[in-house]
Amino acid sequence: MTASFFCKIVSKYIGAKIEMDCLRMRKNISKYLDGELTKDEVSELLNHLGICPDCNREYEEMKMLLDSIKAPAEVFAPPHLFASIRQRIYVQEHQPILLKLLKPILVPVVYSLVLVAAIFIGNSLSRNFLSTNTQNKEAFKLTLNLTAFDDAPGNSFSNIYDNLMSGE
- What is the DSSP annotation of 93-147? HTS-HHHHHHHHHHHHHHHHHHHHHHHHHHHHHHHHHHHHHHHHHHHHHHHTTGG
Q: What is the DSSP letter of 156?
A: S
In three-state secondary structure terms, 31 is helix
CA distance 135 to 128: 11
> Looking at the predicted structure, is the pLDDT value of residue 137 above 70?
no
CA distances from 9 to 15, 18, 21, 141 (A): 10, 14, 18, 108
- Cα separations in angstroms, 72 against 35, 61, 69, 147: 20, 19, 8, 91
Q: Write the DSSP symbol of residue 149.
A: G
The answer to whether the CB of 25 falls within 8 A of the CB of 48 is yes
Q: pTM of the entire structure?
A: 0.36
The CA-atom distances, in angstroms, between 107 and each of 90, 92, 117 are: 23, 18, 16
100-113 pLDDT, tens digit per residue, is: 777 788 888 889 99
**Model confidence pLDDT, tens digit, residues 12-37:** 454 445 566 788 888 888 888 888 88
Q: Is the dihedral of CA 57, 63, 67, 69 positive or negative?
A: positive
If residue 148 lies in a helix (H) or strand (E), which one and from where to where?
A: none
Q: What is the pLDDT of residues 35-49, one digit of tens each?
A: 888 999 989 989 888
Q: Residue ranges per domain, the chain?
A: 3-70, 81-166
Mean pLDDT for the chain overall: 75
